[in-house]
Structure 1
Amino acid sequence: MYLTKEVKAEIFKKHGGEAKNTGSSEGQIALFTHRINHLTEHLKRNRKDFNTERSLVKLVGKRRSLLDYLIKTDIVRYREIIKELGIRK
């Protein structure tokens, strides 16, 4: 499995403050970004995997919703997270 407990804990520790802070917006956005990158690589190899493509679109929508929430509540945190994760080009 590409996403083990240790990898998730590291993502939340790096972006959420601590490993157990799984509810932070930044941590969830970072986790979604990690999963989106993995699914994107999978779809490059398996073009006709439409179920994975649907899952990818749903994940992007969830991440977008969290980013919209973050931009409304705290623009500074929003700018930091997109810069750190390299979401915008």
Structure 2
Amino acid sequence: MAYNADDTVSVTNELGKVTKYSFQTIEGVRRITSIQGEPSANCPNSNSTFTYDSNGLLKTKTDNKGVLTTYTYNARGLEISRTEASGTAQART
């Protein structure tokens, strides 16, 4: 594991493959905003991006295939809706 000057973290696995994690601090908590690397069985979320609302709740996730998942929460911060493949004919809630 390497902590980089650009506030990212790089993890190298036993096969020498590197996965780089980027972060954003929201409400004092560090949240992952992107994972860059070669997807594998142990890290299928590589090349994914994440966005958060002002409360630090996950708002969207785009996976390594470009599929967008959106999340909606109630006033207490509990997830009330999740739409996978948002904006496509394959969208499902």
* TM-score normalized by the length of structure 2: 0.26
More strand by share: 2
Bigger Rg, structure 1 or 2: 2
* TM-score normalized by the length of structure 1: 0.26
More helix by share: 1
- Say which structure, 1 or 2, has more relative contact order (CA 8 Å, 6+ apart): 1
